[in-house]
Amino acid sequence: MPETVEARAAVLREVGRPMRIEAVRVGPVAPGDVRVRVRAASLCHTDLEAIEGQLAVALPAVLRHEAAGEVDELGEGVEGLSVGDRVVLSWNPHCGHCFFCERSQPILCRQYLSNGPKALHFDGRPRLACDDGSALHQLMYLGSFAEQCVVPAHCAVKVPPEMPLDRACLLGCAVMTGVGAATRVADMRWGATAVVIGAGAVGLAAIQGARLAGAARVVAVDPNSARRAMAAEMGATDLCDPAAQDPAALARSLTEGRGADVVIESAGAPAAFRASVECARPGGQVVWLGKVGVNDPVEFRWGSLMQEKRIVRSSYGGARPQQDFPAMARAYLDGSLKLDALVTARIRLEDINEGFAALKRGEAVRSVVLFD
């Protein structure tokens, strides 16, 4: 039987309780897999939802789905990667041949969705185990709050060797989702007026995506003054505190009364969803990135949904990781994509619980766990 390796990992054993740093077994590496030595993994609200029980995940589990590292081992049949390659991990493995994959919708891949609740590897079998040999689950097919992880080879996307891994890890989720919403999902035309609601990591990436796509004005909406200041650094031309100013009124004032051409919602709150459709012009487009509980209702004024507005929900910004991750890495390296300010703390694995406490308090955009 192929060998496993030992690694340290942050293990969630009970909802609402701190994670514990434990020795775990990683592997085996099956045909088509790669084993990655994780160098950087960031903290986000999806993990916090799992910790607090808002997002159901089988336990015990290793969380995290936004990570970067180096290839340590190749499974049989893997091509295009070599040991030592720097890679960003994608949390959307897909089969490539189901109904949805054939229609270029890998985020809806039948195998991806059906095996997701098992919280194991994409093939439905474990690649992580506790020290006593019992199976460990992994969030979103990665489980990268560990020094090592095993993923399908197409989920380990090679990036330039000069790309810093503590920033590269952000490409795997937040930056891809935000930039992709503006450049892949939205019909963002040159000279457009865009509104981005929520200036967390995803929203700040969406602001940059709107700028890169040619938007002439980008309105950042966030009640946090520090986040609004960051939005201005990322390219927002106008800032809105929704507690003091109606974002829809501001959007209309900038567009001769029409409203925004594109609105990207990344706050994940009922008020933000309502504001998103109020801000959009007749015939405009709304992209929802945030989320509330899957069974929670959100109410709208019916008139805000009329006049040919187009609304789409996107989970991963229309990601094509093999194309997008290297392109975004190059954009960072040439200075056109700003990532440095998104990393507000660099922490050790042992500090992970305090990192999540800071995230919950709203003190961090992205804290990144650095592995030795």
pLDDT at 304 over 50: yes
Interval 291-309 mean pLDDT: 95
Which band of pLDDT confidence, cut at 50, 70 and 90, is reported for residue 2?
A: low
pLDDT tens, residue by residue, 348-371 = 999 999 999 999 998 999 999 999
10-14, 54-58, 166-170 — which is least confidently predicted?
54-58
Which band of pLDDT confidence, cut at 50, 70 and 90, is reported for residue 3?
A: confident
Q: How far is CA 94 from CA 44, 109, 154, 316, in A?
A: 23, 6, 9, 13
pLDDT at 235 over 60: yes
> In the prediction, which pLDDT does 208 show?
98
Q: What is the pTM of this model?
A: 0.95
Which band of pLDDT confidence, cut at 50, 70 and 90, is reported for residue 121?
A: very high
Q: How many helices (H) and strands (E) does the chain have?
A: 10, 18
Interval 56-80 mean pLDDT: 96
- Domain locations in the chain? 5-158+339-370, 176-313
pLDDT at 111 over 50: yes
Closest among 112, 124, 126, 109 to 25, alpha carbons compared: 126
Interval 109-115 mean pLDDT: 97
- According to CATH, what is the number of the domain 176-313? 3.40.50.720
* Percentage of residues of the chain with pLDDT beyond 90: 95
C-alpha 199/C-alpha 250 separation (Å) is 17
Q: Do domains 5-158+339-370 and 176-313 have the same CATH topology?
A: no
Closest among 202, 198, 211 to 279, alpha carbons compared: 198
31-40, 126-135, 171-180 — which is least confidently predicted?
126-135
pLDDT at 162 over 80: yes
User: Which CATH number is correct for 5-158+339-370, 2.30.30.30, 3.60.15.10, 1.20.1250.20, 3.90.180.10?
Assistant: 3.90.180.10
Which band of pLDDT confidence, cut at 50, 70 and 90, is reported for residue 77?
A: very high
pLDDT at 63 over 80: yes
Sign of the torsion formed by the C-alpha atoms of 320, 108, 309 and 203: negative
> In the prediction, which pLDDT does 1 show?
43
